[in-house]
Amino acid sequence: MRGFGPMVAVALLGVLGACAGGTVDGSSRDTTPGSIPVSAPGPAASDGPSPPPTQGESDVRPLRSDLALVNTRPRDTPFDSLEPWIDGIGYVRAWGGSRAMVTFPTLDAVPQVLLDETGRNAFDVINEDQIDGLLALQQAHGTQLVYDVNVNDQLDSQTEFLTLLLERGVDIAMLEMGNELYLPKFAKGDTSAIGVTRAWTVDQYVDLLRDWGPRLRDVVPGVPLYGVGASHGSTDAAGDTTRRQWNESLFAAIKQRPGLIDGITFHHYAGGDASGASDEEVTVGDAEFAYLDTFGDLPVAITESGYRSATVTEATLNRAEAFWSALRARLKPGDVFGIHVMYNPSNQAGSRAMSLYDENGRTAVGDRVAQWLSRW
């Protein structure tokens, strides 16, 4: 395997991208009972006075709502054997999930706090074979990259890597500024948890968007920058309240500085618990999609979603499709639907039931996604 940085072995987690219960990775909550809606009212318009547009706001290339996004981890994904291909997939997210926050372009970029974690496999270093795989997929199927920016890295390291991707010919469609920074593990700065190298607050995140945005736009002109929004339910539980506060603070910063970001990403999971250990039917009412309205008319990209189950049966496939349909119906024109996960190794049982491909080829979930996308 040839590389511009060494590949560091990592322990494969039970849940790819550290997906856990509720609507987001790393936490759990119950969904509110209710029927899955066929359609839903559109999002509210942005309010309040706006200063003049800033750099990049009017120059970005919008994403296409008729193409689906799929989350991937290139280290684990055999891009040359994803057959038969699922037509309708246009965007590939990499290096996705919580591991994106501890995946670095070179060993030199890895912070000391991760190098000191000798008792666990704490980080990844990207190698050229992974880039080759993304390029092969791009050439075969016309996919574009949604790059999950590692905001735990240094800006120079990330801009140099983006420059390398462009030089290699990677077609970058969007930059997603981090992954699920609203989770308690980031607020606590719990470096024993996957993806964490330091503590994060929403104010620190806004400062990073202000500092990094202009440089990133210079490197990848025309490519939209999407911020990290927090999906939440309709309850007053602590987790839902914390996520609302994250969204409110981030949206306030966007209204003060239009063009700070060009869109917002969310993750939404339904079904069983974090491990997929339950096949209990869970319905999702419209109140569970209210988070989509938080950022007014800002474009939304669902960069992770899925229906968790312990096994894959006709019943769970029907529930999964109903969930995908309900979520997509709630999106507005210009929004993008995405799903987790492209490929799942056999030793990562937690995401096994959501994988579109495995070592045997396209899975039953992949077949159902292919059928569903063909009806878009």
Q: What is the CATH number of the domain that holds 160?
A: 3.20.20.80
- 124 belongs to a structural domain: yes
Residue range 286-325, pLDDT digits in tens: 778 999 999 999 999 999 999 988 889 999 999 999 999 9
Percent of the chain's residues with pLDDT above 70: 80
Residue 236 to residues 1, 206, 233, 242, 289, Cα–Cα distance (Å): 50, 25, 8, 10, 15
How many beta carbons lie within 10 A of that of residue 325, not counting itself?
A: 16
247 belongs to a structural domain = yes
Provide the pLDDT confidence category of residue 15 given band limits of 50, 70 and 90. Answer: very low
Centroid of chain to Cα 123? 18
Are residues 227 and 177 in contact, defined by beta-carbon separation less than 8 angstroms?
yes
Kindly state the average pLDDT of the residues 336-360: 89
Instruction: Calculate what percentage of the chain has a pLDDT beyond 90.
Output: 69
Answer whether residue 198 is part of any domain.
yes
Q: Is residue 8 part of a domain?
A: no
Total domains in the chain come to 1
Question: What single-letter DSSP state applies at residue 192?
Answer: T
Q: What is the pLDDT of residues 81-99, one digit of tens each?
A: 899 999 999 999 999 999 9
115, two tokens: 């190098």
Mean pLDDT of 45-74: 70
- pLDDT for 279 equals 62
In a domain, 138, yes or no: yes
Strand partners, 104: 125
Tell me whether residue 6 is in a domain: no
What tokens appear for 142 in the block?
Answer: 């016309």
| Residue 165 and residue 172 in contact, taking contact as beta carbons nearer than 8 Å | yes
Does a structural domain hold residue 318?
yes
Per-residue model confidence (pLDDT) at position 237 = 77
What is the structure's pLDDT at 239? 85
Residues 96-154: tens digit of each pLDDT: 999 999 999 999 999 999 998 765 668 999 999 999 999 999 999 999 999 999 999 99
* Parent domain of 130: 16-41+51-373
Q: Which tokens sit at 244?
A: 């609302």
Mean pLDDT of the chain: 84
Within-domain flag for 46:
no
Average pLDDT over residues 253-260: 95
Assign 53 a pLDDT band (cuts: 50, 70, 90).
Answer: very low
217: phi then psi, degrees, rounded to nearest 5? -65, -35
pLDDT tens for each residue of 204-217: 999 999 999 999 99
